[in-house]
Amino acid sequence: MRITGRRLGMLPVLVLPAVLLPATTVPATAEPDEPGSIVVEDGVTQPVFSYDDAIREVVRVQSPVISQDSGEPDLIYVDIIRPAASDGDLKVPTIIHTSPYFMGWQDFSNNRHGEIKPPPGAPLDFFPRFYDNYFVPRGYAVALVDLTGSRASTGCADVGGPAETEGLAAVVEWLAGEGHAVDLDGDEVTADWANGLSGMIGKSWDGTVPNAVAARGTEGLATIVPLVALSDWHTDFWANGARHGGTPTLWHDRHSDNPAMATECDTVRAELAAGQEDPDPGTDFWRQRTFVPDADKVEASVFVVSAMNDYTVPPVNFGRWWEALGDADVPRKLWLSQTAHEEPFDFRRTEWVSTLHRWFDHWLQGVDNGIMDEPMVEIERAPGEWTAHDDWPSGATAPVWLGTPRDAGDPRLGTLRTDPRDAVRDRTATFTETRRSVSQLAAAPTTVDPRRLVFQSPVLSEPVRISGSADVTVDARFAGPNATLTVLLVDYGEAERLQHATDGGLANLPTRTCFGAGNAADTGCYADVGLRTHIAPFEVVTRGWSYPAFQTGVDALEPGTDYRLTIDLQHHDYVYEAGHRIGVVIAGAETGLVSNRHPTTGNPIEIDLLGSRVELPVVGGPSALRAAFE
């Protein structure tokens, strides 16, 4: 890849065709009754600018990256809508949403409402999402940016690489008065209507790019709002040497709406094909695609929204990113939901629109509305029930040891105990590695199954909250030269739970709600969304995986040799209620997440229980856990 000049989400959801309407150019003249500045009442901007008369335009911003084999600089295609008054005295900030999905190039979209852009080539009458309907009348511009190599942007999709990052950074910098852009006629244009501040927002891949652009310290980027987004692309493919997830080469090839992808991107395609196959997170390929180490370069505020049961974007992405931002003293806010790969417009809509409005007003319009004085963190405890916290994570390490019960009347197959000196019946436990689904691995914990090990706490006498990241250390012996391990942290106890494994835990309803202004071309109306719940006897709280040969640094495991493995589990925040049990399951490869490239060996795996333990991030630490075990 060549870089000239200065420095140099995604994910499966069904896409439905949007209704395409003829594009027209709206007069670029402010109505006489439109003010020359924003109007603020009750701490928020008011909808005083005309949506129908807003200016709609297209620019193509030149990137400093040359990613195509032809040697031509990448050109980033941007659809913009802004108040007509911004052609006068009004200077407006810009809300940026970038995506590779605007043309519906996959069999899915990154939003459940199936909105895509009309074909390129003229200013848009229809802008996907509600941002234009809601924020333009309140004095904002909204820019929808085709990700590098998708729809009308040239260049090659390098899946988290410099072509994506620098292309979007160039758009932010152009809005701040730097760089070069042209209109559809090829005439140079400047953003003289902009106040120089931008905020980026998006879900999944669309939210990952804002993390990347912020991590380079981009001038003019005032805030980002990453929704269930990656902070480290490596974690989307590998965990302790175990492969899961998709392939960037596949995503690259399916940009079928951009013909140049098939003819101009051989170099990038080869880089992706080679780089993705290395499980080592320290390679140049993966280091280029992790933003956590550069959190200290972030100058923007960050509002992280993530889903604790999302394994399209593993929760470690919000956990590590949030902690790194805290270490760098970045102004921040966090929402954690119990959904899978979903965004707050669909699981907490009214609160979300109000909070996002105040967030953008504060960081982009300079409105002193007190949002940064409110609790920093909100967490969904039960379906639709949220609690506020001053910070996150809140747990302190509390170790529990694996064992087997001494009492013949104990229904548990394996035990969790807070005192390693407590006697156990057996020093070792053995299972046979097979590939099974996560529900099969966790169900019926008192039923003997030679394909897994299950360890349970006593019935809890009081609630236990875990907050942060847990890990499991095991001393293991393998009968064969390779194996794959899955570790589950489980809540055993019947409760009403969000059914996040089914459509993310949500369901579209027949009713619709409108946000902001609208017209026949773009109504701003969306299907209401409800929660899917069910009564279930257990919940898989979090999980982790390992390919032991990689973790121990050997080409092949030596049968009969002792290996100590520490397997980190995904970040979470969860309350085990009194009367429930904490459970740990150890088994072979998990169907659905761990790639078939890790074959089932059918070999026995022996765990030495004497030194094997779990370290839980318990609020209140070891003393709180001991009290709940009594």
Catalytic residues: 204, 310, 341
Q: Determine the Cα–Cα distance for residues 342 and 530; give it in Å rounded to an integer.
A: 12
Q: What is the dihedral of CA 107, 111, 114, 118, to 10 degrees?
A: -90
- Give the integer Cα–Cα distance in Å for 143 and 125: 13
CA-CA-CA-CA torsion for 162, 594, 500, 566, nearest 10 degrees? -90
Q: How far is CA 554 from the centre of its chain?
A: 32
Residue 203 CA to residue 307 CA, distance in Å, equals 11
Contact 234, 281 (CB under 8 A): yes
Other Cβ atoms closer than 10 A to 241: 18
Please give the structure tokens belonging to residue 416: 């969790």
CA 627/CA 350 separation, integer angstroms: 40
Beta strands in 479-580 (DSSP E): 485-498, 506-514, 525-531, 533-546, 562-568, 572-576
Provide the CA 594 distance to its chain's centre, in angstroms: 19
Kindly calculate the radius of gyration of the chain based on its CA atoms and give it in whole angstroms. 26
H or E element, residue 416: strand 415-417
Quote the DSSP letter at residue 179.
Answer: S
Polymer length of the chain: 630
Instruction: Report DSSP state, residue 204.
Output: T
What b/e string do you get for 350-386 counting C-beta neighbours within 10 Å, with b at 16 or more?
eebbebbbbbbbbbbbebebebeeeeebbbbeebeee
Nearest to 343 by CA among 102, 505, 222: 505
Q: Using an 8 Å Cβ cutoff, are 579 and 458 in contact?
A: no
Closest CA to 598 of 442, 472, 433, 438: 433
CA triple 344-498-230, angle to 5 deg: 45
Tokens of 194: 């902009």
What separation in angstroms does the CA of 438 have from each of 374, 475, 483?
38, 23, 17
Is residue 451 within 8 A of residue 431, CB to CB? The reply is yes
Give the DSSP letter of residue 503. G
